[in-house]
């Protein structure tokens, strides 16, 4: 190496022979869902980068997410709002880092569906009938039940209520509805999108707007949490993680045509699904608002009133990480 080049490198602040500083790794587990693949696409494809942190993200099914939360397998994990009071009661301290899923103002995506030619015209017509759901204890189904209970005054108890509730594996819900094994269903978002494009099924009740009316704020069903001891040990790494995932969703929403086309190709999904999902079904804030905190507290209170939560209720505001990005 010439003396002149050495001087130039030193003047530029590059130490000769100095090793490149390794990035800190932050592991992140999220719900295995095509929409989240679109939300994280900018990070995976170099549109959002960092000189400090590398995010290792992995999608998991709900049972695996629940197991990993308790085992502290990941640094940051997406989890159900409904589970935090019980986790705290069992000695598992969690800090809310961001809102993962929030109802969209349009209020789509949480409907109860029936067959297109069914005789049912209202929720009251379903009394004594069977409603199939993808997960009985989930926050999403709890919000559906809260809406039906508070808005329409029906008994949504799993035992002795107005309806028979059965858990059906999500992929099997449309077939169970078509064959008459169940008379109504809460379809997952990809199924609801497909149902809205045809005539085989129709929406009987839109529960998301009712839940928003009942709660006074748009509901939050999933959040990103971290562990206080890990956050305290590496605060700057976690702050950079928070910045990156917020920048990722911001890029997705500002560049929808690019991201949805690419994510659609990678996941073999019509890009219009992503457009519908992000603009009608759900929001992915990657930040926390004051209304989110109110929504979390409110769903805990209503779930406790329903007997779903038996643990003492923590104060949601106290659980928000001090460095969380605020809306």
Query: What is the tens place of the pLDDT at every residue in 65-99?
Result: 989 999 999 999 999 999 999 999 999 999 999 99
Count the helices and strands in the chain (H runs, E runs). 14, 11
47-51, 63-67, 99-103, 214-218: the lowest-pLDDT one = 63-67
Dig out the tokens for 126 from the structure: 């379903």
In the chain, what are the domain boundaries?
A: 21-103+220-319, 111-215
CB 25 within 8 A of CB 56: yes
Q: Say what the pLDDT of residue 44 is.
A: 97
Same-fold call for 21-103+220-319 versus 111-215: yes
pLDDT at 18 over 60: no
Assess contact for 203 and 149: CB atoms under 8 A: no
Over residues 111-157, the pLDDT tens digits come to 999 999 999 999 999 999 999 999 999 999 999 999 999 999 999 99
What is the rounded CA–CA span in Å between residue 130 and residue 44? Answer: 42
For domain 21-103+220-319, say whether CATH 3.40.190.10 is its number.
yes
Mean pLDDT (whole number) for 41-58: 97
Q: What is the pLDDT of residue 61?
A: 87
Question: What is the three-class DSSP state of 288?
Answer: strand
Q: Per CATH, which fold does 111-215 belong to?
A: D-Maltodextrin-Binding Protein; domain 2 (3.40.190)
Give the pLDDT mean for 199-214.
Answer: 97
Q: Are strands 164-167 and 201-206 parallel, antiparallel or unpaired?
A: unpaired
Confidence (pTM): 0.91
Say whether pLDDT at 9 is over 50. Answer: no
Strand order in the sheet with 53-60: 53-60, 24-31, 76-80, 220-226, 95-103, 282-283
* Token couple for 15: 């130490």
């Amino acid at each position: 190496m010439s003396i002149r080049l050495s001087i130039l490198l030193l003047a530029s602040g590059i130490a000769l022979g100095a090793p490149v500083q390794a990035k800190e790794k932050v592991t992140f587990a999220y719900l295995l869902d095509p929409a989240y693949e679109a939300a994280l696409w900018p990070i995976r494809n170099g549109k959002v980068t960092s000189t400090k942190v590398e995010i290792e993200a992995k999608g998991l099914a709900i049972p695996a997410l629940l197991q990993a939360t308790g085992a502290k397998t990941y640094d940051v994990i997406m989890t159900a709002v409904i589970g935090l009071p019980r986790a705290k009661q069992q000695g598992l301290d969690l800090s809310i880092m961001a809102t993962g899923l929030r109802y969209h103002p349009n209020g789509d995506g949480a409907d109860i569906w029936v067959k297109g030619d069914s005789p049912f015209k209202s929720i009251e017509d379903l009394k004594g009938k069977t409603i199939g759901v993808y997960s009985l204890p989930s926050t999403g189904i709890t919000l559906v039940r809260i809406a039906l209970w508070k808005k329409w005054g029906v008994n949504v108890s799993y035992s002795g209520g107005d309806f028979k509730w059965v858990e059906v594996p999500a992929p099997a819900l449309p077939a169970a509805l078509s064959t008459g094994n169940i008379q109504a269903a809460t379809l997952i978002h990809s199924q609801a999108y497909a149902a809205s494009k045809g005539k085989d099924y129709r929406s009987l009740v839109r529960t998301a707007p009712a839940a928003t009316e009942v709660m006074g704020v748009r509901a939050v069903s999933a959040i990103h949490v971290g562990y206080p001891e890990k956050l305290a040990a590496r605060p700057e790494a976690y702050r950079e993680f928070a910045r990156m995932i917020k920048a990722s969703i911001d890029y997705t929403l500002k560049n929808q045509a690019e991201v949805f086309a690419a994510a659609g190709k990678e996941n073999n999904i019509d890009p219009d699904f992503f457009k519908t999902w992000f603009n009608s079904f759900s929001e992915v804030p990657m930040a926390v608002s004051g209304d989110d905190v109110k929504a979390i507290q409110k769903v805990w209170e209503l779930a406790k009133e329903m007997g779903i939560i038996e643990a003492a209720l923590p104060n949601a505001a106290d659980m928000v990480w001090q460095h969380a990005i605020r809306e």
